[in-house]
Amino acid sequence: MALEKNTIVATALRLLDEGGLDKLTLRRLAGELGVQAPALYWHFRSKQELLDAMAAQMVSEQPARPVFTDPARWREWVADRARGDRAMLNSRRDGARLAAGTRPSPELFALVERAVAALESAGFTAEDAMLGLSSVSGYVAGFVLEEQADRARDDAEGPPDEEELARAYPRLMAALERIGDPQGDRAFEGGLALILDGLERRLASRGSSGVPGPAE
């Protein structure tokens, strides 16, 4: 049976879930497929091309992004996109590292173009829209990177003594008591809200009325 590109990508993603990005080698992938490593180069000129295809497949497996329909609800739309991106990156082991190490595709540029146009229709300048989207994207990527690193970390020593930590770092522990797990949903939503608050203040400072315009 001829080796097909989608079979290679699917197998590579399975190996990623099993062993993580560090253990994903072309030699191991070729062995799993029952071929020699040079056979993979008929389909991918480099490991980078394979990683790009894996990231694209990871994105394509997720539900469609929320559609922008109401400029007045831009904040909810951006937040829903962020939650979807977090879920997408967490759908695969080391998903955040995989996405961070791949090159932007034409599809991504088109997606960002439409997103900037959507926020322009809500009253943002193109510059502020791009800065806001980049800030949210970077926040999501960093948050998931910490989530996934935390899951992979060896906790053989057991959890720290919380009473001792509270005596040594009272402000830190009081804050953590309110926000919960730093890699949890409440912390994610809190950090996201801070970015959105900043965008909202920037929009208000420009005296925008949120006049409808082009939308995604």
The pLDDT profile of the chain, 216 residues, written as one tens digit per residue, is 468 999 999 999 999 999 999 999 999 999 999 999 899 999 999 999 999 999 999 999 988 889 999 999 999 999 999 999 999 999 999 999 999 998 888 888 899 999 999 999 999 999 999 999 999 999 999 999 999 998 887 665 667 778 888 889 898 888 888 888 888 999 999 999 999 999 999 999 987 444 444 444
Task: Copy the structure tokens of residue 192.
Answer: 């996201």
Q: Hey, which CATH number is domain 71-152+161-205, 1.10.357.10, 3.20.20.70, 1.10.760.10, 1.10.10.10?
A: 1.10.357.10
Q: Which CATH superfamily is domain 5-60 in?
A: Homeodomain-like (1.10.10.60)
What pLDDT does residue 67 have? Answer: 92
Span(s) in the chain for CATH 1.10.357.10: 71-152+161-205
| Helix residue spans in the chain (DSSP H) | 5-19, 26-33, 47-60, 74-89, 95-100, 106-121, 126-152, 162-168, 170-179, 185-205
Alpha helices in 90-161 (DSSP H): 95-100, 106-121, 126-152
Contacts of 173 (CB under 8 A, 6+ apart): 162, 165, 166
Q: Provide CATH 1.10.10.60 ranges for the chain.
A: 5-60
Q: Which residues contact 199 (CB under 8 A, 6 or more apart)?
A: 75, 78, 124, 128, 132
- Report the predicted TM-score, pTM, of the whole model to 2 decimal places: 0.85
